[in-house]
């Protein structure tokens, strides 16, 4: 999947130069104008990282899909801005002629997510499993790449990042010191074991995901 997305970007005459650039939140101009062949590696890291981060978050009823909906909403707006010349010029974000089509993709994800959440909320009757969570995470990574807001995914998908980092810290801490950094990882299980109810953990993580999404959108003007 990463190879396909990369190939499309690097072979398009219109997008070849921009596709290899790297944009950082809060900065108007690209930090790196041409990443060269590292672009392949970078795209793969974005997709694999986002895919696994969503997968790690999918441990409580409705948690992953709720956070996905807020992230998808943020990227629906970001992709629309990137596909509209006037808005892109005003916000000083990279313009891509067909990026607006990603708004449809994100909207479809939001709609499907809401329908799924109806049955996945606590107590869940259906589950997305690894197939669903990995696919959704990969999809978010592809959308971020296609509108050149890859690093902003760290902000918009802040809950996913926190969950993934909690697992990394837990593993490193146990291997280096023999002690666990958290009671249990990913982080949502830590809070469960410290006395929070499952529904409390879910709702509070949803609130965090909304805050992260709004913060990500705010970076469009805080430049």
Strand, coil or helix: 32: strand
Q: Which residues contact 132 (CB under 8 A, 6 or more apart)?
A: 58
Give the Cα separation of 101 and 98 in Å (integer): 6
Question: pLDDT tens digit string along 20-59?
Answer: 788 888 777 778 877 777 887 888 899 999 999 999 999 8
Strand, coil or helix: 91: helix
Give the Å distances, CA to CA, from 49 to 46, 110, 148, 161, 164: 5, 21, 16, 9, 9
Give the Å distances, CA to CA, from 76 to 101, 128, 187: 9, 22, 28
15 close to 212: Cβ distance less than 8 angstroms: no
Which whole number is the average pLDDT over 104-124? 94
Q: Which residue is associated with the tokens 């969950």?
A: 163
> What pLDDT shows up at residue 222?
73
Give the Cα separation of 84 and 119 in Å (integer): 36
Query: pLDDT averaged over the chain?
Result: 88
Question: pLDDT tens digit string along 118-152?
Answer: 999 988 899 999 999 999 999 999 899 888 889 99
Q: Note the pTM of the prediction, 2 decimals.
A: 0.89
Question: pLDDT tens digit string along 166-197?
Answer: 999 999 999 989 889 999 989 999 999 999 99
| Token pair in block for residue 180 | 């666990």
Give the Cα separation of 104 and 76 in Å (integer): 8
Looking at residue 27, the DSSP 8-state letter turns out to be: -
| pLDDT tops 60 at residue 12 | no
């Amino acid at each position: 999947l990463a190879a396909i997305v990369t190939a499309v970007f690097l072979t398009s005459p219109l997008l070849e130069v921009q596709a290899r650039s790297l944009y950082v939140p809060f900065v108007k101009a690209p930090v790196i104008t041409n990443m060269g062949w590292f672009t392949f590696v970078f795209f793969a890291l974005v997709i694999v990282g986002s895919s696994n981060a969503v997968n790690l978050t999918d441990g409580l009823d409705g948690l992953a899909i709720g956070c996905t909906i807020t992230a998808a909403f943020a990227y629906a707006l970001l992709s629309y801005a990137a596909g509209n010349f006037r808005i892109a010029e005003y916000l000083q974000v990279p313009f891509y002629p067909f990026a607006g089509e990603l708004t449809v993709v994100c909207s479809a994800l939001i709609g499907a997510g809401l329908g799924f959440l109806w049955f996945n909320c606590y107590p869940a009757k259906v589950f997305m499993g690894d197939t669903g969570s990995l696919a959704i995470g990969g999809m978010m990574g592809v959308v971020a790449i296609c509108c050149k807001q890859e690093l902003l995914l760290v902000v918009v998908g802040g809950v996913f990042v926190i969950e993934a980092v909690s697992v990394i810290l837990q593993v490193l801490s146990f291997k280096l010191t023999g002690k666990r950094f958290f009671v249990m990882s990913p982080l949502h299980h830590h809070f469960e074991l410290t006395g929070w109810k499952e529904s409390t953990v879910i709702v509070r993580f949803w609130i965090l995901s909304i805050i992260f999404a709004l913060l990500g959108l705010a970076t469009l003007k805080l430049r």
